[in-house]
Amino acid sequence: MNEMILLKLGEMVLKGLNRRSFEDKLQANIHRRLNNLGQFRVYTRQSTTYVEPMREDCDMDGACEAMKKVFGVVGVARARACEKDKDAILAACKEYLDEPLRTASTFKVETKRADKTFPMTSIQTSQYVGGELDEAYPNLQVDVHNPKLTVHVEIRDYAAFVYADAEPGAGGLPVGINGRAVSLLSGGIDSPVSSYMIAKRGVALEMVHFFSYPYTSPEAKEKVLDLARLLVPWCGHLTVHVVPFTKIQEELRRSCPEELFTIIMRRFMMRISEAVAQRIGAHALVTGECLGQVASQTMEAMNATGAVVSLPVLRPCVGMDKEEIVQIARKIGTYDTSILPYEDCCTVFTPRHPRLRPRLDEVELAEEKLDIEAMVKDAVDNIERIHL
């Protein structure tokens, strides 16, 4: 039988009557990720999803790497299927796992017997396979507590499977099972991490980026698109809504108190993002705000910026310190791009002494002279949409 990939499912196996909808969404996401890697059959049985190549030219290495970034999967294992016979299982172990068996110093065998009609118990199967492998490979010693190699045997309805230790998956829930949101994506470290974290909870995303040409360069815009591309393997296909923000910032600089500029600017970002969300049927906004990190991220400031929208504002980084955020950015591959020295619209007009604890009434008073509805409409009508 062919080599295949076994995907171990995470918290979705605890779902009740709606579990099937989670499995269907996961399978659809897997099919999309495998689309350019060959023809695969994907199906779920007994809390495991199987990715089976249907042709010899399927890219198994690429498929295995892609599956590690599919939310909903906690473990990824390349396995060999064989007949449900003790000698066939032993032969598959010797053939398929020969290299790791030759290089390991200690090992153990773990068996899961989902098919209770199999004549040997899990313990008996492990003892038989482990004893034969111990004799066949003089370099090996049995260590059931801390082995260098674990040989896994699974006896299921249609076949038996053997594989070495599974690699960690992305965890979380399948993207799209918890609806759609709009994520505000800057060129910094935090917003890509917050997007990743919300996608991990099963939310499909579209991105909004605020671009202030000529104050911000085309290279700065391309940096943000590069960050979005790095998120695609985790989040799936993304649309980036690039908002022309220069006219709004220039008007705010002319008309608003300097110490409130950042808060009012962010209120416009929230209004525009909510307008985008309404157009695409999204039900929440996502930001990379982290409590107390900068002047615009005090509780008073976040209250003032969030007061202009009716949608929930999700802030997955709000309680994290910078090092925790950086660790996740390195893990998902966005850190090196985030630290490239290109300006973004939030840093171009930074006031010298921003108000740390703005009162909502004074912010609203400062906005009274602005034609807010017209400014938001003009920005939304001129959005550039880039599909990744």
**Mean pLDDT, range 21-29, rounded to an integer:** 94
Question: Token pair 């009609």 is at which residue?
Answer: 117
122: number of Cβ within 10 Å: 17
How, if at all, do strands 204-211 and 149-155 pair?
unpaired
Neighbouring C-alpha atoms within 13 Å toward the C-beta of 232 = 16
Q: pLDDT for 141-197, tens place per residue?
A: 999 999 999 999 999 988 999 999 899 999 999 999 999 999 999 999 999 999 999
Percentage of residues of the chain with pLDDT beyond 70: 98
Sign, Cα dihedral of 328, 330, 332, 337: positive
* Alpha carbon 199 to chain centroid, angstroms: 5
**Mean pLDDT, range 213-238, rounded to an integer:** 94
pLDDT at site 297: 84
pTM value is 0.90
Binning pLDDT at 50, 70 and 90, where does residue 343 land? Answer: low
Q: What is the DSSP string of 311-361?
A: S-EE-TTTT--HHHHHHHHHHHT-HHHHTS----HHHHT--SS--SS--HH
Round to whole Å and give the CA distance between 149 and 139.
12
**Mean pLDDT, range 253-280, rounded to an integer:** 94
**Mean pLDDT, range 225-252, rounded to an integer:** 96
> Who wins on pLDDT, 343 or 303?
303
Q: pLDDT for 62-102, tens place per residue?
A: 999 999 999 999 999 999 999 999 999 999 999 999 999 99
314-340: b (≥16 Cβ within 10 Å) or e = bbbbbebeeeebbebbeebbbbebbee
